[in-house]
Amino acid sequence: MTGIPEYVLDLDQRDPLAAKRREFVLPKNTIYLDGNSLGALPRNVVARLDAVASRQWGEDLIQSWNKHDWIDLPKRVGEKIAPIIGAASEQVICCDSISVNLFKLLCSGLELNPARSVVLSQKDNFPTDLYIAEGVQNLLGESRCQLEVCAADQLESRLDEDIAVLLLTQVNFRTGELHDIQALTNAAHEKGIVVIWDLAHSAGVLPLELDAWGVDFAVGCGYKYLNGGPGAPAFVYVARKHQEKLRQPLSGWMGHKQPFEFSPQYQPAQGVERFLSSTPSILALAALDAALDVYQDVDIKQVRAKSIAMAELFISLVSDKLSAGSLTLVASMPSAQRGSQLSYSHPHAYAMAQALIELGVIVDFRRPDILRFGFTPLYTSFVEVWRAAQILVEAVESRLFLDSRFQQQHKVT
């Protein structure tokens, strides 16, 4: 591999986020370009988990619900996430998973539009979003919930008065293509449609203004760009204007107005806390709570600017070195119209991903033929982007990926 160009070194020297890298645990000799699937470990999470497990749980046992305020962790974590997604206080709660939270919100959205039944989504939306909608359809019947899907470029023209809910993900998980949340939300509202946004690939890496854009509901992931750890709790955003109208369907005891009265009759809590259901997972919430501290002094606009710059650098390096047709950039629009990832298609994309991982560049694969490179500006450097591009070019030109050891399919891709 040739020496690193001065202009790449200069990009890192001028990077206002460069110091953030020191706040993460990053393995040596590894370039991690998969933060869009699982964020790296923030250093302070290790100490926090040790404190919660060893001292709080280990020494104070059940007293910790009060002594260490475990009971309010879902709300406290939600309050940390709120400014990252452009939400005022008391509109975000952290609990459960995206799938469970989508079920709550989809039922709530249908409740707000009782005279309508159609749930419109994108045909290549993330599967769990479609599966949950299908599940609600099976539960309620098509007279109350009917899932309809269309291509991304047909969404706005399909919006009409028979649609109850528009259910979309801002960033396409395969291609990285980006929806304009404000424009689509406004267009849907003009037709009386309730809108739910999935921000799994957005929160923590894209500037979001949910309040200003008039979004009704949103869900998001705690373990991608928010770095909360594998299986970290998700979050729910419920616009204040809707909160007191709704009685979400998973009316578990933690969403009760007074859970420790143990009343046999359910009374929903005030505000967004009514979207809680079960006992919160304290270890998982504590990890996410600590991880979010890395955002305390971060300007999301700087994160976005660096993300775009890294993508443009990678594209130029790969296109300069590889002949046309070697790899195909799936979403070839300007980087400002993509999330913080690049997707390339190749007939041997899975094997290529495995070869890159062996060479120290961790990426991932999505069926049928997508090789994904995720850029996480808080801990990815421009030098790493440059090195990853060189390694990719060498792997393609050498056809290393054709080796039989890269053909074995793993459960997780």
Residues with catalytic annotation? 126, 198, 223-224, 372
With both helix axes pointing from N to C terminus, report the angle between 382-398 and 300-321 in degrees, rounded to the nearest 10.
30
Query: Angle 140-215-333 (CA atoms, 0-180°, nearest 5)?
Result: 105
State both tokens at 140: 């309620």
Q: In whole angstroms, what is the distance from residue 214 CA to residue 52 CA?
A: 38
State both tokens at 282: 């304290």
Distances (CA, A) of 61 to 58, 68, 70, 74: 6, 10, 11, 19
State both tokens at 139: 């539960």
Q: In whole angstroms, what is the distance from residue 309 CA to residue 74 CA?
A: 35
Cβ contact 78:195 at 8 Å: no
DSSP assignment letter at 401: G
Identify which of 152, 156, 136, 132 has the alpha carbon closest to the alpha carbon of residue 144. Answer: 136
Q: How many CA atoms lie within 13 A of 106 on its CB side?
A: 31
Helix H or strand E segment including 276: none
Cis, bond preceding 114 (omega within 30 deg of 0): no
Identify which of 369, 299, 377, 367 has the alpha carbon closest to the alpha carbon of residue 339. Answer: 377
State both tokens at 100: 């469970």
Cβ contact 226:204 at 8 Å: yes
Instruction: Name the burial class of residue 309, with classes exposed (0-12), middle (13-18) and buried (19+) by CB atoms within 10 angstroms of its CB.
Output: middle
State both tokens at 142: 């098509």
Q: In whole angstroms, what is the distance from residue 405 CA to residue 358 CA?
A: 10
3-state SS, residue 101: helix
Q: In whole angstroms, what is the distance from residue 206 CA to residue 225 CA?
A: 10
